[in-house]
């Protein structure tokens, strides 16, 4: 596993993170590892768009859609 160092963290930010870690019953390192792990699991917008593109492909043409609309109107 690799260690990550974050430099120049403002004191108020560090204090807030320490407080949140303590409230969660975790060390600062464990708390930050959880944050980074959750963030890494969130797909990017580009990944979400690619998935949407893959999962929503269809072979329905405009004429198929118009025919279905006409069919629905005729059934009224």
Structure tokens at 46: 């580009």
- Does residue 45 lie in a domain region? yes
Residue 65: domain span? 11-74
Q: How many domains does the chain have?
A: 1
Chain length of the chain: 76
> What's the pTM?
0.63
The encoded tokens of residue 61 equal 């043409």
Which residue, among 11, 8, 35, 4, has the nearest Cα to 21 in the 3D structure?
35
**Which DSSP state fits 42?**
S
Q: Give just the sign of the alpha carbon dihedral 27, 30, 35, 36.
A: positive
More confident residue, 23 or 61: 23
Q: Let me know: does 21 contact 28? Beta carbons within 8 Å.
A: yes
Residue 12: band (very low, low, confident or very high) from pLDDT cuts 50, 70, 90: very high
> 41 lies in a domain?
yes
Q: pLDDT tens digit string along 36-55?
A: 999 999 999 999 999 998 88
């Amino acid at each position: 596993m690799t260690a990550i160092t974050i430099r120049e963290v403002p004191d108020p930010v560090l204090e807030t993170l320490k407080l949140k870690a303590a409230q969660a019953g975790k060390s600062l390192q464990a708390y930050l590892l959880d944050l980074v792990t959750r963030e890494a699991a969130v797909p990017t917008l580009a990944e979400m768009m690619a998935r949407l593109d893959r999962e929503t492909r269809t072979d329905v043409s405009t004429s198929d859609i118009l025919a279905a609309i006409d069919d629905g109107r005729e059934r009224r």
